[in-house]
Chain A
Amino acid sequence: GIQVEQSPPDLILQEGANSTLRCNFSDSVNNLQWFHQNPWGQLINLFYIPSGTKQNGRLSATTVATERYSLLYISSSQTTDSGVYFCAVDLHTSGSRLTFGEGTQLTVNP
């Protein structure tokens, strides 16, 4: 099956810093999503981005499908950004068979 690798596995920042999280995948995909799992365990979709660039406030994401990677940018980080960030991919557009990476654990200190 498709392999998903996320880096770095852990990241510690001071409030206000910027960061870039990376997701590499082993095959062509038609669905790619970024999720944030907060400290209470809730999984929230951040972006659906099989290709191109999107922005939502302080967060933005870019997927270069031809080179099989995606980047999640967090600017001016806040303590509420803490948690685990997951990248998930699917060969199918529907996303019915998403494969998740192991995640990046982000800690933002005040």
Chain B
Amino acid sequence: EAQVTQNPRYLITVTGKKLTVTCSQNMNHEYMSWYRQDPGLGLRQIYYSMNVEVTDKGDVPEGYKVSRKEKRNFPLILESPSPNQTSLYFCASSHSGTGDGANVLTFGAGSRLTVL
């Protein structure tokens, strides 16, 4: 089944304890991105990647890092989490082109992170 898989789905952690949220897709998509969703703010892009080893900042990158060493994986790293990073996080992927499904985002199930 074509999908984007995120882990963990739920996490409660403490301020300053480094954590990584993994994201993997099995559709050979070149584009991957991370969004956070907060009440009243919709979804905001954190980072995106156009392909392996090509990443760039989105609208709210502060406090986050990413890497794209393999096409299928795009982990989100919080080096020193703070309470304002408590949020619902989504990973997404897509592929470019003109065929069926091109340029359409497929989202993972989301990861709910609480930083105490």
Interface residues of A (CB under 8 A from B): 1, 31, 33, 35, 41-45, 48, 86, 88, 93-103
Closest chain B residue, CB of each to CB of A1? B59
Q: Is the interface of B mostly helix, strand, loop or mixed?
A: strand
Q: Is the CB of B109 within 8 A of A41?
A: yes
Given A1-B59, A41-B110, residue A93 in contact with residue B43 (CB < 8 A): no
Q: Is the CB of A86 within 8 A of B96?
A: no
By size class, the interface of chain B is 20 to 34
Q: Is the CB of A42 within 8 A of B109?
A: yes
Across the interface, which residues of A come within 8 angstroms of B41, CB to CB?
A: 102
Give the distance to chain A from B74, nearest Cβ to Cβ, in Å. Answer: 12
Interface residues of B (CB under 8 A from A): 31, 33, 35, 40-45, 48, 50, 58-59, 88, 90, 94, 96, 103-107, 109-110
Q: Is the CB of A45 within 8 A of B104?
A: yes
Question: Cα distance A41–B37 when bound, in Å?
Answer: 10
Q: Is the CB of B109 within 8 A of A95?
A: no
Q: Is the CB of A100 within 8 A of B40?
A: no
The 8 closest A-B pairs by CB, nearest first: A43-B107, A100-B43, A100-B42, A102-B42, A96-B31, A48-B104, A95-B103, A94-B96
Across the interface, which residues of A come within 8 angstroms of B35, CB to CB?
A: 100
Question: Cα distance A102–B59 when bound, in Å?
Answer: 15
Q: Is the CB of B59 within 8 A of A103?
A: no
Q: Is the CB of B104 within 8 A of A96?
A: no
Q: Is the CB of B44 within 8 A of A96?
A: no
